[in-house]
Every structure is written in structure tokens, then in C-alpha cells.
Structure 1
Amino acid sequence: MFVLSKIFWLIVNPANLFTFFLVLGTILLFTRFRRAGRLIVGSAVGFFIFLALVPVGLWLITNLENRFPTNPAIPADIAGVITLGGTTNQRITVARGQPALTGGGERLTELVHLANRFPYARLIFTGGSGAITGPLLKEADSARLFFNQMGLSDRNILYEDRARNTYENAILTKKLVGDDATRQKWVLITSAAHMPRAIGVFRRAGWNVIAYPVDYLTVGSSHSEIRFRPLQGMSALNQALREWVGLIAYSIMGRTSSILPSPRR
């Protein structure tokens, strides 16, 4: 299922589809199917202009990011903090010898913040590799390097290094700490747009964690995102569709508590 999901996204990724049809249409322009080529190229260019003028991706992301409150109140007696992978580039980390943070790096920095704020809380990082071929380094190894540099080497952080997706994050982390953890107060850190899917999976696993969203991509109001930025629009649409498709797929497979989780359900 993991490999199939990777192949499926490779095919339906909007940026890949745009590139494929643009190249296909251009090739057809030099054949007897030039009329079809003009139609395909025109449609691809029109789609690109549409994304430049109408920030559909940012609107979709805003709806996800606003699902859970920013900087939520955290009880003083929390048992621990969990942060999900999707934070580092393992190849660059290996090549350069220092942790290379990606767009989701706030997942790591906020764990450091909460670790200092709650010195007795247990800390968990969960993340193996989302690569099909196998990485040079697990994400947990990159995170360990980062946390050591931040002075957390003496906090005895637990590292779960086998999870390849959000579902495995929840299942394997629960196995790591035991069923008793589900009766305690735990905080979950992940990107705001990813939080609904992550919360749904943890709840489905019987673990009602406290959502602590980070790594925001929008300011929170849809009307303020109207700008002429086609590349940003394409990137936002990619990320938005990944999350929405993930929510629908997990709902169909019975891996989430609801199709669009919220603080109340």
C-alpha cells in the first residue's frame, strides 16, 4: 500500500501533470496531430494562469490550517510531546554533515521550545523514511543530530525510526510507549495543514492527543492570499491536494476517526 500511494501521487501530482501535458502538447505540435497539440498546450498554459490568478491551493490549505487553534493552552501535567517527521533532507544531511531542515523544520524547533517549557515531559520523535528505494539516513537520525546540537542530548528522547507515513507514526509510536500512554495527556506537533489527518489517525488508534500545529503557510484568511504568484500557487495546490486526498483515502481505509477531524470530534 505504501509503494502504491507513492506511485499514485507521482501520477496525480498537479505539477507533474502540468509538465507532462505541456511536453506532450509541444511534441504533438510537430506531428500531424498539431491541432490536438495546440489544445493541450493551451489548456496547460490556461491552467497555469488560473493558478496564478486564483489561489485555490492556498484557500484549501487555509481551511486545514484553521481547523485547530494556534498556540493552544497546554496543561502543566502533560506526560509528553510527540513530533512527526517530514522535517529534514537526509541526503543533504549526510553530504554536509549537519542537519538540513526542510519546510517543516518548525516541528523540530517547537519541540525544543516545549522541552524547555516542560522539563519533565517525555519527548518522542517519529519518522523513518518516505523513500521507496531506502535512504542513506533515517529521519530520526537527522532529528537526533539536530536535538543534540540544541542541547537536548541529556533529555533521553525516544526515537521511532520505522514509520513511513502518518498512519505508521501513530501505530508505531503507541507501541513504543505502551497503551498506558493513551490515558495520559500528550501533545502532538506537526504542520498545521497536516494536523487534521494526524489527529484523526491518533484518535483512531485510541490516543486523544492535544493538537499543537506549527509550520503555517498562510496568514489564516483566504481573501488576503490573492496575489500573482503562479509557482507558489502550484506548490500550494500540490500540498493541499496531498492532504485532502490523504484525508479521503484514510477515511475510506478506516484509518482516521473522521474525514475531517476538529477539536470537538
Structure 2
Amino acid sequence: MILLSKLLPVFVYPLSLVMECVAAALVCLYFRKQKAAIWLLGIALVVAYLPATEIVATMLVKKVERTYLPVDIYSVKGDAIVVLGGGGRPKSYPRTNVEFSEAGERMFHGIRLFKAGAAPVVIVSGGGIDFILKDQCEGRDMAELMIEFGMPADSIIIEDKARNTYENALYVKEIMEEKKMGKNIVLVSSALHMVRSVPIFRRMGFTVIPAPCDYIAEEKPYNWFSLLPNAWNLAWSSSVMKEMLGIAVYKMKGWL
């Protein structure tokens, strides 16, 4: 099931849909269905272009990211700050140290909240996908980086088993119940991921204070360049589709 959940989004990303349409068009041409092939190629062109433009990508990202807005770090209080995995790159050749990824702001934001007094401890949550990187553990990697950047080691609790957002919530709940820590958490993740993670943690019984970070879409005027496609915009649109598919799958499984 974990493997399926990781592979399924690949087939609905814009680039994948384009390839699927082109493949179907080639099949239609082979069977002399030229009209169907033209339609499929037209769909492929639209799917390739629109999500890769700044206007469409920004619109999609804003719709998701603006669900939860930034919080005043000095006004939030919880029993623990929970930082979800995805912000680091493991020690893997040629890297000799754990490094920040594009979502590394999650760890910085966790440190920021801790220093502001939002909670006495930080729980870093994330295991590894054993069929992808057997030695990777996001929880341990995040803890290593946070200590390097000033977090006291005795204020960090590592959750190192979770392989998806549902398991993040499940295993964090087990840790907090075992340590009798209460159920009020300040939840840190990328703004794009909050729309899925917050409901899951609330369904687990937590009182959640969302503390999103790592916003992608900015408030700025569009221009003619906004109509030009590029890989970054396509990646952002793909990330939105991944979250929407994740929400749909989690609802079907009864996790949301």
C-alpha cells in the first residue's frame, strides 16, 4: 500500500498525462484513427502548457497554500512542536553531511518556534521508505541539522518510523501518550502540505495550531513572461496535484 501511494501520483502529474496522451495518440494513428489522435495531441499540448505557466501554477498553489496563513510565533503555545519530515537530504555520495532541501524551512521554523517559547520540546517526525533509501531516516536527519543550527539535543524527540502523513500523526500520538505530554501541538510543515496534514492530526485527537512555512506563491503582478512555460511552474502544479490526490486517497481510506 505504501508503494502504491508513492507511485500513484506519478501517473497524474501533468508531464505523465502528456506522455499518456501522446502514447494513446500513437496507438490511434496505428489504427488509422486520425481524428482521435489529433484530439489527444491537442489535449497533451494544453496539459503541457497551462500548468507550466506562472499564472496557472500560482493560482493552483495559492488555492491550497492560503488555507492556513502564517502565525505569530510569540503568540502560540503547545505541549510540543511537531515538525514533519521532508526538509533534509541524507548523507549520500557525494554529500558528506545531511543538507537542507527545498523544504528545509520546516526545520528552521521549528527552531524559530522553540526559541520563541511555543513549546518545551520539538518532535521531528519521519522515517524512511525502505524500498527507496534503506538507510535514510528523516527524523534523525532533521534532528542532526537542528542541533547543528542551535537546538539543544535534550529538547528534541525523534520519531523515526513514519512513512507518510498518516503515520506521522499515528506515531507522534503514541510518543506523546507514552510521555503523557498532552494533545496540544504546534504543527510545522510546508504550507502546501498543511491542507492534508492538519485534518489528519486533528482526526487523531490533537488540538492543532497550524504553523505553516515554505510558501511558494508570492503576491506580485503578472506580465507577459507569466505566460511562458517553465519547469519550476510545472513542478509547483504537480505538487498541488499530488496533495489533492493524497487527500482523495486518505478520504477513501477513512483517514480524513
Task: Write out per-residue CA displacement over residues 169-208 of structure 1, whole angstroms, 9 at most, x where no aligned residue.
Answer: 001011011174444x321100111112111000000001
Structure 2 portions without partners, runs of 5+: none
- What is the aligned partner in structure 1 of residue 51 from structure 2? 51
Seq. identity, %? 24
- What is the aligned partner in structure 2 of residue 210 from structure 1? 209
* 1:204-243 alignment, distance < 5 Å: 204-219=203-218, 224=222, 226-243=226-243
CA contact (8 A) 2:61 2:240 kept: yes
Change (3 A) 1:111 1:52: closer
CA shift, 1:246, in A, is 1.6
CA distance in 2, matches of 1:236, 1:227: 15
Amino acid across the alignment from 2:92 = V
Task: Write out per-residue CA displacement over residues 104-141 of structure 1, whole angstroms, 9 at most, x where no aligned residue.
Answer: 11101111212222286111100012464443321122
Normalised by the length of structure 1, the TM-score is 0.81
* 1:77-88 alignment, distance < 5 Å: 77-88=77-88
* 1:170-181 alignment, distance < 5 Å: 170-178=169-177, 180-181=180-181
Amino acid across the alignment from 2:78 = I
Q: SS at the partner of 1:186?
A: strand
Amino acid across the alignment from 2:218 = V
CA shift, 1:72, in A, is 3.6
Task: Write out per-residue CA displacement over residues 198-252 of structure 1, whole angstroms, 9 at most, x where no aligned residue.
Answer: 110000000011100001010258x759542342332122111111122222223
Structure 1 portions without partners, runs of 5+: 257-265
CA distance in 1, matches of 2:119, 2:192: 29
Matched, 1:252 2:252: yes
Q: SS at the partner of 2:187?
A: strand
Amino acid across the alignment from 1:47 = V
Change (3 A) 1:74 1:33: farther
Normalised by the length of structure 2, the TM-score is 0.84
CA shift, 1:253, in A, is 2.2
Matched, 1:169 2:191: no
CA distance in 2, matches of 1:41, 1:123: 50
Change (3 A) 1:22 1:89: farther
* 1:5-24 alignment, distance < 5 Å: 5-22=5-22
Change (3 A) 1:119 1:189: closer
CA distance in 2, matches of 1:134, 1:230: 29
Change (3 A) 1:133 1:193: closer
Amino acid across the alignment from 1:81 = I
CA distance in 2, matches of 1:181, 1:198: 20
Matched, 1:138 2:137: yes
Change (3 A) 1:199 1:111: same
Change (3 A) 1:131 1:72: farther
Give the alignment's Cα RMSD to 1 decimal. 2.9
CA distance in 2, matches of 1:241, 1:247: 10
- What is the aligned partner in structure 2 of residue 112 from structure 1? 111
Residue-pair matches, total: 251
Change (3 A) 1:220 1:171: farther
CA distance in 2, matches of 1:76, 1:123: 14
My pick for the range that moved more, 102-111 or 245-254, is: 245-254
- What is the aligned partner in structure 2 of residue 67 from structure 1? 67
